[in-house]
Amino acid sequence: MSGSRWDDLAVRLGSGAALVVLGLGAVWLGGLWFHALIAAICGVMVWELVVMLDAGRQRSQYLLAGVTAAAAMIAIELPPAFALPLLLAPSMLGLGRMQTGGVTYAVFTATILMAGYGMMALRDDFGLWWMLWLVLVVVVTDVGGYFAGRTFGGPKLWPRVSPKKTWSGAIAGWLGAAVVGLLFSGTDGAGLGLIGISIAVSMASQIGDITESAIKRRAGVKDSSNLLPGHGGLLDRFDGMLGAALFIVIAGQIVNFPPGVS
């Protein structure tokens, strides 16, 4: 093994472990604790997004981050019909404040809030078990892709945007997600169809990851921020979860999700 391919592993594992402990604690507690964590994460991700797209908007960075966190925190307490406009309000507010990247800001901020709302609703409505399933699918996709990509290499997935991501890593992520789906398939009568759903969630996670890479490439930055040693910013760490959670929100209108749960 080449040391240069693994020189960031120790730092990634350390900060990653701290994130896992914090995240699992909030997931376990649920309710207000989980809502507060998700709202804070949404706010910080929007702050990072504004900094990447339009670094000159210093006042807007904090205003839009605060509005985003508040919108997420309030929306989950409202009936869905009234939560939806609140989830889109930070996107509308930011359009007039961005000198550059306004459309990208609006679309990605809406994605962040819809995904955050989806995660809170999943934990509230279906409990700890299904939230753990989602987290495991995303984590296995990321970890499997990291190790397989650096071990096997091979053709790049989209070298112009994300030169480190490979097809071997992507496929390893799908296989890992399939295993998670199989392990959870006996839950509440979910059945083997959960394997297919898990693979699709893995793909959505990878799309979220690549989308954020495209934004960074356009902004000319390596990381969304330097908040997390070895990982960059929260957007760098949670981009896959954004794609996965948003997919669950959409797919829940197409298939019975969680399968077997009435």
CB 116 within 8 A of CB 70: no
Does 1 score more than 60 pLDDT? Answer: no
Contacts of 172 (CB under 8 A, 6+ apart): 144, 145, 147, 148, 149
Give the pLDDT of residue 12.
Answer: 61
Confidence class of residue 2 from pLDDT cuts 50, 70 and 90? very low
Cβ atoms 117, 126 nearer than 8 A: no
149 or 243, greater pLDDT: 243
- Give the domain ranges of the chain: 3-251
> Interhelix angle for 31-53 vs 102-126, to 10°?
170
Candidate from 84-88, 108-112, 152-156, 205-209 with smallest mean pLDDT: 152-156
Calpha distance 243→248 (Å, rounded):
9
pLDDT tens, residue by residue, 42-70: 999 999 999 999 866 667 888 999 999 99
Q: Nearest-CA neighbor of 174 among 151, 144, 132, 130?
A: 144
